[in-house]
Structure 1
Amino acid sequence: MLKRLFECSLDNRFLVLVFAGLIIATGVYSMTILPIDAVPDVTPNQVQILTNAPGLGPIEVEQFITFPVETAMSGLPGIERIRSVSRFGLSAVTIYFDEDLDIYFCRRLVMERLPRAREAIPAGLGNPEMGPISTGLGEIYQFEVRGDGYSLMELRTILEWDIAFKLRSVPGVIEVNTYGGELQTYEVQLDASKLIAYDIPIARVYEALERNNANAGGAYIEHAQEQYLIRGEGLIQTLQDIENIVVATRHDGTPIYIGNLGRVTYAPMVRQGAVTRDGRGEAVTGIVMLLIGENGRAVVNRVKEKLVQIQKALPEGVIIDPYYDRTDLVRKTIDTVATNLTEGAILVIAVLLLLLGDLRGGLIVATAIPLSMLVAFTGMVSARISGNLMSLGAIDFGLIVDGSVVMIENIVRHIAERRDTARQTARLSAGEIRAIIQESGREVLRPIFFAVGIIIIVYLPILTLQGIEGKMFRPMALTVIFALVASLVLAFTLTPVLASLVLRKGVKEEETWVIRRVKRFYRPLLARTMRHPAITGGIAAALFAGSLGVASMMGAEFIPKLDEGAIAIQAWRLPSVSLEESVRNTTQIERVLKSFPEVTSVISRTGRPEIATDPMGVEISDIYVLLKPDSEWETAETKEGLIEVYDAALKQAIPGTKFSYSQPIELRVQELIAGVRSDIAIAIFGEDMDRLKAIGDQVVQVVSKVPGAADTKAEQVAGLPYLRVIIDREAIARYGINASQILDTVRAIGGRIVGQVVKGNRRFSIQVRFRPEDRENFSRIRDIRVSDPQGRLIPITQLADVRIETGLAQVSRENIHRRLVVETNVRGRDLASFVAAAQRAVEQQIDLPDGYWIEWGGQFEQLQRASLRLAIVMPLALFLIFVLLYTTFNSVRPALLIYLNIPLAATGGILALALRGMPFSISAGVGFIALFGVAVLNGVVLMAYVLDLRKKGLSAEEAAIGGAMIRVRPVLMTALVASLGFVPMAVSTSAGAEVQRPLATVVIGGLLTSTALTLLVLPTLYVWEERLRERWAGFVGERKKKLS
């Protein structure tokens, strides 16, 4: 089959060139529509169910909303786990599905069960709805709306109805979440003393408003052969309309208006979130959320175009000021990848020209680079893979051209030898050139196919990764496989065709100066190692054993952290803190951070936004510190140094507030994956919250003492002050009062929505509350009175026990079990060794009561899961490599000899990581996979020729030396182009280089040792093994003679 493909290509050169043109056209088109992002979207397959429950505390939210939702969703097909958070006024339930399920199918399943959940929730407490179909990386564009002379309420109204409303129509935008500002309402602020004076129960106010805000239709009537529609219009339009609503009538017929019971004004809805910026106070911001699966870069460009149109129609003085654009990070990381790939391609071409010695041959090989990449782009579009740091960052042009290198090197060598031996001064005819290409090509077809096939096989284990690690690394493996398959086909088709067209005038006979010098040094060195095979093998074994020792002391992490060019700080305060105090606190934090010269802007988000996809309490703030390029930093040279200085300054200026440090995207992804915002999540499960808190405090004390622990803290589940109104059943029965009357009064403290005011497309809620003087004073609340059937006004303290207590601030659950999470970051130490030490410390120092248990999660869980799967699949891949080697040579001995290249290559990779102080990571593991493929390829190229020489009658030593001398050039070329292709990644300090650096380091270090050992150890061990076999055969022969 390979031979037929090869010869068919030479026989149909025009068709091959046409096929190449189609590849170029399709690839260029695919490149223009390829989604581009900074990193793969690793958001779990999840559906979020959000329920606003105004006025309910965490325990009520858990009992009446969260539990019914969890129960309704349990048993759905494909569910992996259910997590929930119950806070004041909010239930957030997140359902994690199997990654193989389509997200729209998952949402349909949830939608079918939502009616069951709604039926189980008591009327009026909340209406569960699905969150937007976005991802953890969906917040692609953020902006502030500001204007001199405009209040927070006015700016919020402009954002909601003039900006966000229009942005939601942009293709690819699923939602525009509003954060900060004040949501305008038409508020009836009741005076408790006037209610008493007029003897008006508050329920009557609710009823009056609800009955005086409606339209009605009377169908139509016919008059004079025309049809007249009948409309009754009674919708509230103004504040005066509300004031003039009659609540009751006195005995003398005088009406009592709502305006007599208090004042009607514009006022903000009770809020649980705010935004501040750059130390200048509160701000109004919008967050554009990307529809899952859309092209982020294209959507951001559409959003920018739409905002230009919207800006023109805004009121005078109001401006849209963007402060976060995800495409900035995308551009930086893609620039890093493009620069590394370009520099790598230049180095690869330079090596080809330097070692091959023929410009035309080098350029033929170089054509495989763009064509293979174009095929890879087409494959990525078909597989719905975005172009990002991971999918494009692992491509090495050295690997891509390996097949073409071996093919063209053999062709060039054969043409040079034929011309040198036949007629030095004459030009070879086209027929002779074609015959030489056929002969030399057939010689390397099998080695190229099996060698590149082996490289493809070593990437297959990555395709088995699941979960977050699978979403991160599978696209990378697929992209490399697309490119390698393309390069293999091109090596058998386009490369020989171009050679037949371009090399018709022949090639230079002499080798390059570099190759001559290498061979002059290599031949005596090889002869010397062959004379001492035991020493040679012993040195190789010792190096490998030493590297294993180094590996055993090497730490491990999931992947290196991508530098996002910003710092995310999370500020934690006491749960009892008010929103206003948190706003003052964050404003002070921003002023401290803005005093540092490298800080360009600071944005703080406190509490939760309008759509509570991030259910934080008002005691927690996410503070985003935007930085200048690192070349302009003055405070410190590294981000770790900046964090250390910032932390010291903040703790000195703002004592009592706890801080933890991360990065914006990293923070969000960690929360979606593990439910926390730190590297490590230690989940403690049990039912009693007081006991969970006590265990959590113990874990914090133990873990914080482990070297490497940073920002260790437990969830703040308690400490929220309550004013409880506990109804006295006997008292209300004695007075003939219903509990609903008292509860109506309690609702009026926080506000009750009784309708809407419709102004064109705009909607504003009508809410009823006690005036601030009555609701913000404990004594006034205790003095609120309720009317009994005889009209007597009874103080609420005679009908209920009004007390102040401290209770729960939050209830977190996972798979129906309550949990408390201790979280910590890891600094100055690798992840795996830290977790191992922390686990030992917790097990030794903490005794868990019956019914309580601990689970470790976060990045460590992903590393553990990926390592376990690779530990199972990698041996299978290595076995397949051996099968392919055996198939190539139809013999176990050469297959085993080439197999030795794998541990010899691993030696260099391990030592290179150790020398650069890098822990093992999944990125480094991918580097080892690529390294093993190239190492085996070089062994196949060398051994295939040695065995061919043996078949021609040469002795083992002559074949080994002759084969090594002939194959030293292709071996060096494949190794050098593969390693030099990774050099830009290994030394780059640009955005995103952190993830690529371990991979490149492993390949470069491994190929340094692997190439040397391939050229020295492999021929030596082959000759040694042949000698031993001959001696054994002689010994057996002599024994047979004696026995006969």
Structure 2
Amino acid sequence: MLNKSIKFLIENKIVAVLLLTMFIGWGVMVAPFDWDTGNFPRDPVAVDAIPDIGENQQIVFTKWDGRSPQDIEDQITYPLTTSLLGISGVKTVRSSSMFGFSSIYIIFEEDVEFYWSRSRILEKLSSLQKGLLPDGVQPSLGPDATGLGQIFWYTIEGRDENGNVTGGWDLHEIRSVQDYYVKYALSSASGVAEVASIGGYIQEYQIDVNPDILKEYNISLEQVVNAVRKTNKDVGAKTIEINRVEYLVRGLGYVKSVEDIENAVVTSDNHTSILIKDIAKVSLGPAERRGILDKEGAEVVGGVVVARYGANPMEVITNVKSKIAEISAGLPSKVLKDGRTSQLTIIPFYDRTELIHETLNTLSEALSLEILITILVIIMMVFNLRASILISGLLPIAVLMVFIAMKLFNVDANIVALSGIAIAIGTMVDVGIILSENIIRHIDEDKKRTPVNTVVYNATVEVSGAIITAVMTTIISFIPVFTMIGAEGKLFRPLAFTKTFALTASIIVALFLIPSFAAWLFNWKSPKKKFGFLLNIALIIFGLLALINGYYLGLVLLGYAGTSILKSREILSNAKANKLNIIITVFSIIVLLSVYWRPLGVDYSIFSSLIFVSLICFGLLGVFTLFRRYYVSILNWALANKLLFLCLPTIIIVLGVSIWRNTGKEFMPALNEGSFLLMPTSLPHSGIQENKRVLQQLDMAVASIPEIKTVVGKAGRIESALDPAPLSMYENIIIYLPEYKFDDNGKRLKFKVNDDGLFETKSGAFISSGTKTETNTLILDEDGEFFRNWRKHIKSADDIWNEIVDVTRLPGVTSAPKLQPIQTRLIMLQTGMRAPMGIKVKGQDLKEIQDFGLKLETILKQVPGVKKEAVFADRIVGKPYLIIDIDRSKLTRYGLTINDVQSILEVAIGGKIITQTVEGRERYGIRVRYPREQRNSPDVLERIYVPTPNGSPIPLKELVTITYEKGPQVIKSEDTFLVGYVLFDKQDGEAEVTVVERAQQLILDKIESGELTVPKGINYKFTGTYENQIRAEKTLSMVVPLALVIIFLILYFQFRSVSTSLMVFSGIAVAFAGGFIMIWLYGESWFLNIDMFGINLREIFQMHPINLSVAVWVGFIALFGIATDDGVVMATYLTQTFDKNLPQTKQAIRLSVVEAGKKRIRPCLMTTATTILALLPILTSTGRGSDIMIPMAIPSFGGMVIALITLFVVPVLFSWKKELSLNKINYGN
């Protein structure tokens, strides 16, 4: 069937052309990159920066205003948690009880469908037994989103027509606009699950009742409450028909102003009404708040847009921006005293599309550069322009086919998924190289003038089995990735899909498209003289036009035209003309690589890059050429000295295994998001004004760093179930400037410079790189230079973080681990903590949990590799409580109940929202309580009067005892067990798993020595992202061997020989060792510590210690699949050669081995060269997402470099086997 399909497409090339056209059109339509295709329809693959690897989580949120964490825990959180634990598919239930609300996080198993789990929770909540929760308390289900759904943050600011910030707006005014206009407008955008508000003040009507006047008029607080409730009401009185016309009857009674409340009647005495204004002061004022938003030291109002679960973040943000553009004109404005008009404007400060564009741009550049390098390798090693055009021209088609498959199988495009294509490029082109090289060889050896279609068909069928076997081993090698579970599964399964799609696409392209176009291309004759003349004229015209517009393409076209003219005038022969065209093409590619790759960095000239790119490409290709030239000599020596030669791969394998055992471990290298999240905390007893002051200090300190674009800090929580932060927790979102200025699509921009290298501004001034300036103040110039935003001593994002740490050291504020917004959300979703590493301490008593946690804090600071300043144990019992203890015996004396006293306390001290006004679309509460001076100290509270049944009020001090004590700020639990956290972080350069193992051992040593005693009922457990690494390793340790067995079986079915299969399989062991040797070399400071053009090679190739993470293991899994490719090709031809020659002597065996090796060394070297060189742009990449791509590429790079030795190992072992068989035959005879 396969052979028939190949033959059909060779003979019917129009079908192949139609297939090619379909793949191109469909692929362009669904490609995730932001391509401008004009009117061509686009339906791109869903795009995000990184997969959502958080837990399968739902949130049950319950408000109970004014209640302490202990009341919330006892009366809401614990009863709800015990009820929700019984839901099918629940893995664990986490909860936190805080002032005024309860948050319960229900973690489901991974295979439970997201919306099915929500339905089960709603069923459970609707069937809760009566009396389980306090009256009036109603739990609700959180938004259908995850913490990673917070994709767009903004502030609302007054701006003039020039975009400058103006004053003139009160915070409560802006908050009203946010709550009742902006919030609902943005919520209507497709894909938005929630828009939550933060900052400013919520307006409310405040009735401050004077208790002395109440006593004078003998009016109870309850009477005031009832009066307020009765004064705010509309009614409907059905209809009245007048003159056969029906009128709807409304009785208007809603409060519209402060005066409406002031004139409400409380009671009447002797025909005199006592009004609210007689006993209280009524005003508009700010409600109590538990969240503050600050921008660079100024308090602001803002909001956060949360994307719905499963929605495409790029589409959602686009929809939100469209909605913002739609409503902006309708936002309020006012004329200021200075005559300027201040227009409220929505200003984004965190927009994930920037990160998405930058990561996609990094991958797009890497893919483009990989394709260019692949073309270069093919041209240089095949030295056949037609074959090179054939292979390299169809490579992008395979990439487009991957996008089609991603769309069909709903695989989102992100940094990890698209990395699957990047690391597969070398393998994808390998199959094309093997096939094309075989076609060229068959055409060259054909002396009978056989039709080209037949020659191409025979050549394709000859290697189709080897191609399918080689690709199948690579696909099978990725089975372990598909079996991963948890965070690592969500992270890398998309990569396994895209890698599989890429390899499948490469088979389709190689076996069905390349043969058809090869049959046409190799049968193509030079154009007739007249047509050739017209072609030359066209090349000259297009070349001149391109040259005028400053395109290098112009020189290339003119070069081709010159070659064609010289050939047509018979000055050059066809062979020399082809060689000249190849030289022009090679030079063009080197120039393109120099311009777009810029491995030395944009601070260096294109000429320097040209020299470096030429040296590295021609240098490596030169090594491969020498390898090919001396291959036969080395092979003859190895065949004559088998034992001595085989010592080399044995030593390599032993060395690789030794390095493997001593390599540090971590879950994942962090993705550089281009922003930081600073999360320090203040002391639990600090109040809202103190937290506001500290927050503003932090923001101003960070904003003073020149590399910082903007910083917006949050204390407390946004109005969302997704954010349970206490007031003492700060979250400062810090957006720093990229190293260079980019456009909106993440592409670097060039600006006009003078002879001194200074940048010219539109105002005529000149500034140097590192000066903080807006992009629109500089003059764009394609022939200019890139503008560097960072100062000279700032070399990396780590340097910026260190400056942030230095300026944010404030008394009373804890330090914070280095975190980023997406990274933090994922950590908090997975562990419930705000740090990547920690210890959970569980028990039954909060004080015991805290005390034990503090002991662990002291021990952790002694662990080598732990950042001492980042170690912090929860101060659980640290919030000051004012306890009002009611004496029941005294209540009976006055005929009072507990409820009588509690009602007074609730309204008089805490204040109570009695009702709500209806003012158009806006709603504001009406609150009743005593004035501040009547409730601001224990002495004053003792004088609050409580009405009695006999009419004589008594002071509160006669009924209660008021004391101070410390209590919990927040009560956390897991599966009903109370829990506290001890957070810590590793030092730079340390491996997560290694640090945790050291900490575990030190704590065990302390326990064994008696220095640390674990109290009864207390248990502790290390937790954090390292758990994902442990789980992934456990899974891989079982599945990788199974995949290797399957690879061996595929090899066996190809060769039908256990010994031959083992020979080929040995390539995996050698490549595995090579990968670890390269990882070790990356961490050695002496390796490639060479300066070139004033820059160190270790800097160029991003060399630093590499820990063994899941990303690295994925790189090894990719290596396992390709490590056998050369062996498969070599063993196939060895078998074919021996079947043909039937050697009967030891010398004949060795000659046959050398004959097969000579035939296959070129395609094997080409496949290895493309794999190695295609990875160079990834290894030198510094863009967003490179932190994840580089660890995945290193094993393949190192493994394939060392795996070159298998080009000798397989022939040597094959020869040894045949010689042993010959000896047995001779011995038997």
Shorter-chain TM band? over 0.9
Instruction: Determine the C-alpha separation between the residues in 1 that align with 2:892 and 2:700.
Output: 57
Q: Please give the secondary structure, in 2, of the residue aligned with 1:237.
A: coil
| Partner in structure 2 of residue 836 of structure 1 | 997
Q: Is the 8 A contact 2:68 2:99 kept in 1?
A: yes
Which residues in structure 2 correspond to 1:270-349 (within 5 Å)?
270-280=288-298, 282-316=299-333, 317=342, 318-349=344-375
| Partner in structure 2 of residue 267 of structure 1 | 285
Which residues in structure 2 correspond to 1:869-948 (within 5 Å)?
869-917=1035-1083, 918-948=1106-1136
Q: Is the 8 A contact 2:79 2:133 kept in 1?
A: no
| Partner in structure 2 of residue 547 of structure 1 | 656
Q: Please give the secondary structure, in 2, of the residue aligned with 1:615.
A: coil
Which amino acid is 2:896 matched to?
A: I
Instruction: Determine the C-alpha separation between the residues in 1 that align with 2:697 and 2:826.
Output: 28
Which amino acid is 1:908 matched to?
A: G
- Report which stretch shifted further, 195-204 or 794-803: 195-204
| Partner in structure 2 of residue 1041 of structure 1 | none
Q: Please give the secondary structure, in 1, of the residue aligned with 2:329.
A: helix
The reply on whether 1:15 has 2:176 as its aligned counterpart is no
| Partner in structure 2 of residue 1026 of structure 1 | 1218
Instruction: Determine the C-alpha separation between the residues in 2 that align with 1:2 and 1:841.
Output: 63
Which amino acid is 1:841 matched to?
A: L
Find 1:971's aligned residue among 1155, 1164, 1168.
1164
Q: Is the 8 A contact 1:179 1:273 kept in 2?
A: yes
Q: TM-score, normalised by structure 2?
A: 0.81
Which residues in structure 2 correspond to 1:770-785 (within 5 Å)?
770-785=930-945
The reply on whether 1:741 has 2:760 as its aligned counterpart is no
Instruction: Determine the C-alpha separation between the residues in 1 that align with 2:127 and 2:963.
Output: 36
Deviations 1:96-140 (A, max 9, x none): 112222211111111111123484543446321111112222121
| Partner in structure 2 of residue 471 of structure 1 | 490
Which amino acid is 1:561 matched to?
A: A
Find 2:1034's aligned residue among 868, 886, 901.
868
Q: CA RMSD in A?
A: 2.0
The reply on whether 1:704 has 2:730 as its aligned counterpart is no
| Partner in structure 2 of residue 243 of structure 1 | 262
Aligned residue-pair number: 1024
Which residues in structure 2 correspond to 1:52-131 (within 5 Å)?
52-117=63-128, 119-124=130-135, 126-131=137-142
Instruction: Determine the C-alpha separation between the residues in 2 that align with 1:742 and 1:254.
Output: 30
Q: Is the 8 A contact 2:262 2:277 kept in 1?
A: yes
TM-aligned CA deviation for residue 612 of structure 1 = 3.8
Q: Please give the secondary structure, in 1, of the residue aligned with 2:950.
A: coil
Instruction: Determine the C-alpha separation between the residues in 1 that align with 2:1002 and 2:1178.
Output: 38
Which amino acid is 1:565 matched to?
A: G
Instruction: Determine the C-alpha separation between the residues in 2 that align with 1:969 and 1:477.
Output: 30
Which amino acid is 1:1032 matched to?
A: K
Instruction: Determine the C-alpha separation between the residues in 1 that align with 2:73 and 2:845.
Output: 14
Instruction: Determine the C-alpha separation between the residues in 1 that align with 2:50 and 2:282.
Output: 51
| Partner in structure 2 of residue 637 of structure 1 | 795
Q: Is the 8 A contact 2:76 2:102 kept in 1?
A: yes
TM-aligned CA deviation for residue 902 of structure 1 = 0.4
| Partner in structure 2 of residue 859 of structure 1 | 1025
Deviations 1:751-778 (A, max 9, x none): 2111110111111112212222222233
Q: Please give the secondary structure, in 1, of the residue aligned with 2:251.
A: strand
Identity %: 30
Which amino acid is 1:944 matched to?
A: T
Q: Is the 8 A contact 2:237 2:249 kept in 1?
A: yes
Which amino acid is 1:728 matched to?
A: D
- Report which stretch shifted further, 823-832 or 572-581: 823-832
TM-aligned CA deviation for residue 660 of structure 1 = 3.2
Instruction: Determine the C-alpha separation between the residues in 1 that align with 2:901 and 2:409.
Output: 61
Deviations 1:845-904 (A, max 9, x none): 243233322222211111111111111111110010001000001111110000100010
| Partner in structure 2 of residue 436 of structure 1 | 455
Change (3 A) 1:730 1:125: farther
Q: Please give the secondary structure, in 2, of the residue aligned with 1:480.
A: helix
Which residues in structure 2 correspond to 1:586-735 (within 5 Å)?
586-630=695-739, 631-634=788-791, 636-651=794-809, 653-654=810-811, 656-710=813-867, 711-735=870-894
Which amino acid is 2:1074 matched to?
A: G
Q: Is the 8 A contact 2:147 2:722 kept in 1?
A: no
Which amino acid is 2:75 matched to?
A: F
TM-aligned CA deviation for residue 230 of structure 1 = 2.7
Q: Is the 8 A contact 1:368 1:400 kept in 2?
A: no
TM-aligned CA deviation for residue 476 of structure 1 = 0.9
Q: Is the 8 A contact 1:368 1:401 kept in 2?
A: no
Q: Is the 8 A contact 1:394 1:996 kept in 2?
A: no
Find 1:389's aligned residue among 415, 418, 439.
415
Instruction: Determine the C-alpha separation between the residues in 1 that align with 2:397 and 2:94.
Output: 47
- Report which stretch shifted further, 386-395 or 17-26: 17-26
TM-aligned CA deviation for residue 517 of structure 1 = 5.0
Q: Is the 8 A contact 2:59 2:721 kept in 1?
A: no
Q: Please give the secondary structure, in 1, of the residue aligned with 2:406.
A: helix
Instruction: Determine the C-alpha separation between the residues in 2 that align with 1:126 and 1:1029.
Output: 86
Find 2:440's aligned residue among 400, 403, 412.
412
Instruction: Determine the C-alpha separation between the residues in 1 that align with 2:512 and 2:847.
Output: 72
Instruction: Determine the C-alpha separation between the residues in 1 that align with 2:488 and 2:509.
Output: 32
The reply on whether 1:1016 has 2:1208 as its aligned counterpart is yes
Which amino acid is 1:682 matched to?
A: I
TM-aligned CA deviation for residue 669 of structure 1 = 1.3
Which residues in structure 2 correspond to 1:544-583 (within 5 Å)?
544-583=653-692
Deviations 1:964-1017 (A, max 9, x none): 11111111111121222221111111111011111111111110010x212112
Q: Please give the secondary structure, in 2, of the residue aligned with 1:179.
A: strand
TM-aligned CA deviation for residue 285 of structure 1 = 1.1
Instruction: Determine the C-alpha separation between the residues in 2 that align with 1:715 and 1:612.
Output: 22
Q: Is the 8 A contact 2:69 2:969 kept in 1?
A: yes
Q: Is the 8 A contact 2:682 2:812 kept in 1?
A: no
Q: Please give the secondary structure, in 1, of the residue aligned with 2:985.
A: strand
The reply on whether 1:231 has 2:241 as its aligned counterpart is no
**5+ residue gaps, structure 1:** 423-427, 1039-1044
Q: Is the 8 A contact 2:328 2:345 kept in 1?
A: yes
Instruction: Determine the C-alpha separation between the residues in 2 that align with 1:4 and 1:202.
Output: 94
TM-aligned CA deviation for residue 508 of structure 1 = 7.7
Q: Please give the secondary structure, in 2, of the residue aligned with 1:617.
A: coil
TM-aligned CA deviation for residue 234 of structure 1 = 1.9
Q: Is the 8 A contact 1:41 1:136 kept in 2?
A: no
The reply on whether 1:816 has 2:976 as its aligned counterpart is yes
Which amino acid is 1:579 matched to?
A: I
Q: Is the 8 A contact 1:416 1:508 kept in 2?
A: no
TM-aligned CA deviation for residue 309 of structure 1 = 2.6
TM-aligned CA deviation for residue 716 of structure 1 = 2.7
